[in-house]
Structure formats: structure tokens, C-alpha cells
């Protein structure tokens, strides 16, 4: 009996020892250790998901593009379904409408701007000479130093030129991703709601209610984001493109198209697209036109950011600018341009889903 009591005491001491040490720590240390451990787990999980997405990049890009386009085209599909068009023909007509718009815009832009490429080459040469004279006359840089910098930049670009084999493989992956996205888009438009009902039927109790509400909120957020972003990007493209036409900047339509595509990457995309327009204006028409282009770009972006975006995007998809910058940067580092495009909608949908689930799990007020 004495030996059994001694063993029990030793076992209790061995168990309670770490607890006493943990309880003896100051509460800021315990809080910091707990949050650090949770942060390590979350960051490790996100890193693993990022690595898997990079390894399966064509599939990940196709799935992201499919969800984005499905949320964008869902109102068109619902309108066709209200006219009693069957599911399969309605999905096919929606995709054909999308392809028709994309091909039509591409052909229109090419026909209107193909003749300007030859003129732009000469204007770029003249603009580069003016820019060179401006740099050497205003900055403490000599012609020899500028030539050396340009030579180093040219050598760096030539040294980092893509491998033809790798470029062909990338082109094949892009083509495969586009084809896969179109096929998945057809099936998602056709059977998406029945698939979601099948998932909900496999759940019971409060989990089913929370999952249904989170799914509705996430899908509504994605649709609002995709349509709102497209409208804002179109407004930016029209405003900046009109300013470029009035200022006589060549290739105004391609630059407007770049602005439209850049609008899908919040903050960073608009800044890069505006910088490209300013550089073309500087090279083609000189510093005065470039300064006027800067003013036009800033004016359009300020009107869009302070007036149109709050009205169009509403509160359900708004994220803080700091969060957007961090998310876009992380997406760019993980998956390049594709990551920059999909990072913000993923963050917006994730936040809304988590918020909805937390509200369902919160206890009812007394």
C-alpha cells in the first residue's frame, strides 16, 4: 500500500509539475505563447495550401477563374431560366455570350489601333531622346553613366529571357487552363445549384443551417465583388481612355484595355496601368502631355475610389486598404499575376464566410 501511495504521489507530481510551471508564468507570457502557437499553426497551414496551389497551378487558376466567371454570369443565367430556357442551353448561351463579348472587344481594339503601332515606334524613339536629354540636363548623371545603366539593364533583361521550351510549356498550360475553365464553367452554371443542394442534404442540425447561410453569403459576396469590380474597371478604362484620346496619346484603346484589366487588382493594378499610360504619353508626346496624363489618372482614380466604389461595392465586400495591399502582395509572391487577381476575392469571401459562421455559433443574448 505504501508503495502504491508513493507511485501515485510521484505520478501526480509528474503531471501537476508542468501545470504549476505554466500557472506560475505571468499572464502576458502565457498569452504571447498561446497566440504565437496559433499563429504558427495558421501560417503553416496557409503555406501548405499555397505550395499545393503552386504545384497544381493550372488547376487552381482554372477553378478560380471558373468561380469568378460563374458568379459574374449568374444573373444572365437566371434571366434565361426565367424565360423557361432549359439548364443546359441556358448555360451554353451564357458562355457563348461571354466569348462573343471577349472576341468582339479584341477584334475592335485591334482594328482601331493596328495602324498606330508603326507610328508609335518613331514617336518612342523621339520620346526616348527627349527623355534622355531631360535626365542628363536636370539630374547629376552624365551620358556615359546613363549609357552604362541602360547597357546593364539591357543585359539583365536579355539574361533573364525565358527559355523557348519553358515558354511553350507555359503556353500549353495556359491553353489547357482556359479550356478546363470553360468546361467547368458550363457544368457549374448548369448543375451548380443542384450540387450545392446535394451537399446540404448530407448535413443535419445546426451545421446545415450555418453552412447554407455561409454558402449564400459567400456566393453573394463573390458575385457582388466580380460585378462591382468589372463596373469600376470599365469606368476607369472609359475615363482614362477618354483623357488619352483628348490628349492625343497614341494607342489609347490598348491602354484603356490595360487599365480595365488592371482594375481587377485593387490599388496596385490601377497604379501600374496608370504608370504605363504616363510612360507612353511621355515617350510619344513629351513631358507636358505626361503631366496632364498624370492629372487625368489621379482624378479618375480619386472619383472612383471615393465616390463610385462605396456605392457599387457596398459594405459586404469592403476590405481595409492595408488588408488589400497585404493580400495582393502575398498572392503575387505565391502565384504571380494570377495570385494578384484572385487574392482579394478569396480574402473577401473567406472573411464573410467566417463572420457568418461565428454569428451562428455565438450564444443568443439573454
* Model pLDDT, residue 110: 78
Report which secondary-structure segment, H or E, holds 156: helix 143-159
Closest CA to 317 of 343, 342, 341, 351: 351
| Cα separation values, 72 from 190, 229, 250, Å | 15, 10, 32
pLDDT tens per residue across span 165-208 = 666 777 777 788 888 888 999 999 999 888 988 888 888 777 78
Rounded Cα–Cα distance for residues 359 and 356 (Å): 5
pLDDT, tens digit (0-9, with 9 covering 90-100), for 213-224: 888 988 888 888
pLDDT at 115: 66
pLDDT for residue 160 is more than 50: no
pLDDT tens-digit readout, 111-134:
776 666 666 566 666 666 766 776
Predicted confidence at residue 324, as pLDDT, reads 77
> 77, 29, 354, 58: which is closest to 217 by C-alpha?
354
Q: What angle (nearest 5°) sits at the alpha carbon of residue 277, between those of residues 273 and 278?
A: 115
Look up the pTM and report it: 0.69
pLDDT digits (tens, 9 = 90+) for 316-359: 566 777 777 788 787 777 777 777 778 888 888 888 888 888 88
Give the domain ranges of the chain.
57-130+172-361
Amino acid at each position: 500500500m505504501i508503495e502504491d501511495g508513493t507511485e501515485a504521489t510521484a505520478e501526480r507530481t509528474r503531471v501537476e509539475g508542468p501545470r504549476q510551471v505554466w500557472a506560475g508564468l505571468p499572464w502576458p507570457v502565457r498569452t504571447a505563447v498561446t497566440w504565437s502557437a496559433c499563429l504558427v499553426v495558421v501560417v503553416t497551414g496557409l503555406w501548405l495550401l499555397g505550395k499545393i496551389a503552386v504545384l497544381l497551378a493550372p488547376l487552381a487558376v482554372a477553378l478560380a477563374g471558373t468561380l469568378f466567371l460563374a458568379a459574374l454570369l449568374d444573373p444572365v443565367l437566371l434571366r434565361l431560366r426565367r424565360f423557361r430556357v432549359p439548364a443546359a442551353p441556358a448555360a451554353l448561351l451564357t458562355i457563348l455570350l461571354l466569348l462573343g463579348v471577349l472576341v468582339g472587344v479584341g477584334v475592335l481594339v485591334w482594328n482601331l489601333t493596328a495602324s498606330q503601332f508603326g507610328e508609335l515606334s518613331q514617336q518612342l524613339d523621339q520620346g526616348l531622346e527627349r527623355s534622355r536629354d531631360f535626365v542628363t540636363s536636370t539630374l547629376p548623371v552624365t551620358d556615359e553613366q546613363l549609357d552604362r545603366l541602360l547597357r546593364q539593364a539591357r543585359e539583365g533583361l536579355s539574361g533573364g529571357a525565358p527559355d523557348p521550351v519553358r515558354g511553350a510549356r507555359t503556353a500549353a498550360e495556359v491553353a489547357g487552363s482556359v479550356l478546363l475553365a470553360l468546361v467547368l464553367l458550363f457544368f457549374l452554371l448548369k448543375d451548380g445549384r443542384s450540387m450545392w443542394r446535394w451537399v446540404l442534404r448530407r448535413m443535419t442540425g445546426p451545421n446545415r443551417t450555418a453552412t447554407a447561410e455561409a454558402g449564400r453569403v459567400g456566393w453573394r459576396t463573390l458575385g457582388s465583388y466580380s460585378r462591382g469590380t468589372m463596373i469600376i474597371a470599365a469606368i476607369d478604362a472609359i475615363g482614362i481612355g477618354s483623357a488619352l484620346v483628348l490628349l492625343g496619346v497614341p494607342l489609347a484603346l490598348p491602354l484603356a484595355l490595360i487599365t480595365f484589366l488592371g482594375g481587377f487588382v485593387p490599388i496596385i493594378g490601377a497604379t501600374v496601368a496608370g504608370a504605363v499610360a504616363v510612360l507612353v504619353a511621355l515617350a510619344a508626346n513629351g513631358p507636358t502631355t505626361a503631366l496632364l496624363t498624370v492629372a487625368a489618372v489621379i482624378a479618375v482614380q480619386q472619383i472612383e475610389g471615393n465616390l463610385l466604389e462605396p456605392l457599387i461595392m457596398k459594405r459586404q465586400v469592403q476590405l481595409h486598404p492595408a488588408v488589400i495591399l497585404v493580400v495582393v502582395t502575398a498572392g503575387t509572391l505565391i502565384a504571380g499575376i494570377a495570385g494578384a487577381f484572385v487574392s482579394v476575392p478569396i480574402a473577401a469571401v473567406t472573411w464573410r464566410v467566417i463572420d457568418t459562421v461565428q454569428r451562428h455559433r455565438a450564444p443568443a443574448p439573454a
